[in-house]
C-alpha cells in the first residue's frame, strides 16, 4: 500500500501509540507476519497487536468474526480471574461483592457510550436487548413496521410474531444490495412510509452484506413524521464510530461479544430516559410504568464474570481506538475486493465506499452455491468464512478481526480467484 505524505505521517504517529497497548508477556499468536509489516508502521502495529494479544488456532485463517469476536488476552485473563473468584466465593461474592462492582460496570458503559445515567441495561445479547424494546413498545391497533431483507432474521421474526398476535403489521421491502449513496438508502426508507408507519427497524451494519445504514439521517426524517426507529447496532458497536445521542434513535440494541471482544453473553439496550416508562416489561415486573431501566431486565441469574469483564473489553478497545479500527477494517476489505475485482465470476454484493460498509463484505461465485464456496475455502485453502441466506442465491460473508493480517486477507483474494476458475 502506498501512502500519501499525510497518510504516512498519520501511520508514523500510530507507531508511537503502539507502546500504550498492554501486551501480556507470555502471549502467543500464530498469525502470519508479512514482510510488509517490517516496513509499514501501521502494519507493524497490527502485527504486534495480534502477536501479543491473541492466541489463535494455527490450523486455519478465521474470517468469520461476525458470529463473535475472539477475546484479546487482557480481557480473557480478567474473565478467567472473575470465573475463579465466582467459583471460590460462590453466593457470598454474588450477594456482597458483585452489586458494587456491577454499579461501576454500568458507569463505565455509560461513560463509554456518552449516555445519561440510567439509560443502559445489560442483557445477555443483542437479541434479548432488541426483544425487550420491540415487544415492550406500546403498539396500537393498525401500527405498521418497516423492515427489509438485510435486517437480522431474529428481529424480523419478532415483528412477525407480534403480527401473528394481532399487534402490528410488518411491511417488508427489498433494499438495493449496492446503493450508490447513503441518500439512496434514506430515500428507500422514505418511500416505504405510509400514514400507519409507527416504527422503522434500522440495522446499522447488516450482518448479511455489511451495508451501513445512515441511522441518524433516517431517524431525523422519521421523527419529523412522528415515527420511531428501533436500531440494531449489534455489528456497529466497536466496528464503526457512532454517537448514540447524536444518532437520536430512542431504542438501540447492541452486543459486546462481537466487535468489543467481551466474553460471550453480554448485550446492551439503550433507551432514551424519557421513553423508558413507555415500554411494557417483557419479563415479570410489578411496577410497569417505572422509569428505571432495570425493571426491563428481570432476566434471572446473570453471568457475573461476563459482565465484570466489560470494562476490560472497553479499555482494550479504547486503547486501540475506534477510528483506527475502522480504517484497518476498511483496508482489509479493500484488499480482498481489489484482488477479485477483475474476476467476472465473482460478484461482490457490498458497496465498498466507506460510507456504505466497513470490515464486513459479502460475495457470490457464479456456478457455485454459497455452501460449496464456504466448504471449498475451508477444505482447500484453510480459510473459514460463512454462507448467509439472501434471496435464492445466498452469499458468503467475510468478517476479519482485529488480529487479521493483510497477508491472510490476500490469501483469501487469491483463493477466491482459484475457486472461481475451477
Ligand X SMILES: Cc1ncc(COP(=O)(O)O)c(C=O)c1O
From the CB of 126, what's the least distance to ligand X, in Å?
A: 4
Residue keyed to cell 416505504 = 192
Distance CA 172, CA 145 (A): 8
Q: Which of 131, 135, 203, 357 binds ligand X (CB under 6 A)?
A: 203
Residue 48 or residue 65: which is nearer to ligand X going by CB?
65
Residue 73 or residue 235: which is nearer to ligand X going by CB?
235
Region of 17-25, 121-129, 334-342, 364-372 interacting with ligand X (CB under 6 A): 121-129
Beta-strand relationship, 251-255 and 228-232: parallel
Region of 95-103, 122-130, 240-248, 407-415 interacting with ligand X (CB under 6 A): 122-130
Count the Cβ atoms, other than its own, within 10 Å of residue 417. 17
Scan residues 213-232 and list those touching ligand X (CB under 6 A). Answer: 232
Residue 49 or residue 260: which is nearer to ligand X going by CB?
260
Q: Which residue is nearest to ligand X (CB)?
A: 207
End-to-end CA distance of the chain: 29
From the CB of 306, what's the least distance to ligand X, in Å?
A: 12
Residue keyed to cell 424519557 = 274
Residue keyed to cell 465470476 = 345
Residue 267 or residue 311: which is nearer to ligand X going by CB?
267
- Tell me the three cell numbers of residue 183: 441518500
3-state secondary structure of 354: coil
Helix (H), strand (E) at residue 347 = strand 346-348
Region of 109-117, 125-133, 136-144, 296-304 interacting with ligand X (CB under 6 A): 125-133
Binding track, positions 241-280, relative to ligand X; x by CB under 6 A: --------------x-----------x-------------
Q: Which of 71, 125, 219, 357 binds ligand X (CB under 6 A)?
A: 125
- Tell me the three cell numbers of residue 372: 460449496
Beta-strand relationship, 169-173 and 361-365: unpaired
Applying CB under 6 A, the site for ligand X has a residue count of 11
Distance CA 406, CA 63 (A): 12
Distance CA 80, CA 368 (A): 43
Contact yes or no for 146/173 (Cβ under 8 A): yes
Which residues, 6 or more positions from 292, have their beta carbon under 8 angstroms from its beta carbon? 118, 276
Region of 6-14, 110-118, 124-132, 217-225 interacting with ligand X (CB under 6 A): 124-132
Residue 239 or residue 312: which is nearer to ligand X going by CB?
239
From the CB of 127, what's the least distance to ligand X, in Å?
A: 3
Residue 115 or residue 212: which is nearer to ligand X going by CB?
212
126 contributes a contact to ligand X by CB under 6 A: yes
Phi and psi based region of residue 32 (left: phi greater than 0; alpha: psi -120 to 50; beta: remaining): beta
From the CB of 228, what's the least distance to ligand X, in Å?
A: 18
For 414, which DSSP code?
Answer: H
Q: Using CB under 6 A as the criterion, which residues of the chain lie in contact with ligand X when the complex forms?
A: 125-127, 152, 203, 207, 232, 234-235, 255, 267
Amino acid at each position: 500500500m502506498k501512502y500519501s505524505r499525510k497518510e504516512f505521517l498519520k501511520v508514523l504517529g500510530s507507531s508511537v501509540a503502539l507502546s500504550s497497548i498492554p501486551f501480556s508477556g507470555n502471549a502467543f499468536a500464530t498469525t502470519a507476519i508479512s514482510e510488509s509489516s517490517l516496513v509499514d508502521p501501521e502494519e507493524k502495529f497490527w502485527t504486534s497487536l495480534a502477536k501479543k494479544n491473541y492466541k489463535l488456532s494455527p490450523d486455519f485463517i478465521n474470517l468469520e468474526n461476525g458470529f463473535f469476536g475472539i477475546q484479546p488476552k487482557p480481557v480473557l485473563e480478567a474473565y478467567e480471574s472473575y470465573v475463579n473468584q465466582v467459583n471460590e466465593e460462590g453466593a457470598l461474592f454474588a450477594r456482597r461483592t458483585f452489586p458494587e462492582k456491577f454499579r461501576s460496570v454500568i458507569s463505565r458503559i455509560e461513560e463509554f457510550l456518552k449516555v445519561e445515567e440510567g439509560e443502559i441495561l445489560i442483557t445477555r445479547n443483542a437479541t434479548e436487548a432488541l426483544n425487550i424494546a420491540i415487544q415492550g413498545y406500546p403498539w396500537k391497533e393498525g401500527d405498521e413496521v418497516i423492515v427489509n431483507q438485510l435486517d437480522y432474521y431474529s428481529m424480523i421474526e419478532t415483528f412477525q410474531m407480534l403480527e401473528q398476535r394481532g399487534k402490528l403489521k410488518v411491511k417488508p421491502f427489498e433494499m438495493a444490495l449496492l446503493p450508490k449513496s447513503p441518500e439512496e438508502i434514506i430515500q428507500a426508507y422514505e418511500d416505504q412510509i405510509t400514514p400507519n408507519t409507527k416504527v422503522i427497524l434500522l440495522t446499522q451494519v447488516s450482518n448479511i452484506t455489511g451495508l451501513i445504514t445512515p441511522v441518524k439521517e433516517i431517524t431525523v426524517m422519521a421523527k419529523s413524521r412522528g415515527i420511531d426507529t428501533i436500531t440494531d447496532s449489534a455489528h456497529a458497536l466497536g466496528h464503526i464510530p457512532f454517537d448514540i445521542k447524536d444518532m437520536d434513535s430512542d431504542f438501540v440494541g447492541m452486543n459486546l461479544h462481537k466487535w468489543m471482544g467481551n466474553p460471550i453473553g453480554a448485550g446492551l439496550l439503550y433507551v432514551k430516559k424519557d421513553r423508558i416508562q413507555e415500554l411494557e416489561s417483557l419479563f415479570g415486573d410489578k411496577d410497569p410504568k417505572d422509569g428505571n431501566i432495570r425493571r426491563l431486565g428481570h432476566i434471572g441469574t446473570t453471568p457475573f464474570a461476563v459482565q465484570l469483564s466489560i470494562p476490560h473489553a472497553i479499555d482494550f478497545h479504547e486503547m486501540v481506538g475506534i477510528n483506527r479500527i475502522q480504517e484497518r477494517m476498511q483496508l482489509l476489505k479493500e484488499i480482498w475486493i481489489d484482488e477479485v475485482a477483475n474476476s467476472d465470476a465473482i460478484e461482490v454484493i457490498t458497496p465498498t465506499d466507506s460510507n456504505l460498509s466497513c470490515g464486513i463484505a459479502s460475495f457470490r461465485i457464479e456456478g457455485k452455491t454459497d455452501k460449496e464456496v464456504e466448504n471449498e475455502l475451508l477444505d482447500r485453502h484453510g480459510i473459514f468464512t460463512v454462507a448467509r441466506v439472501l434471496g435464492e442465491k445466498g452469499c458468503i460473508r467475510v468478517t476479519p478481526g482485529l488480529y487479521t493480517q493483510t497477508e491472510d486477507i490476500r490469501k483469501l483474494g487469491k483463493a477466491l480467484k482459484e475457486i472461481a476458475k475451477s
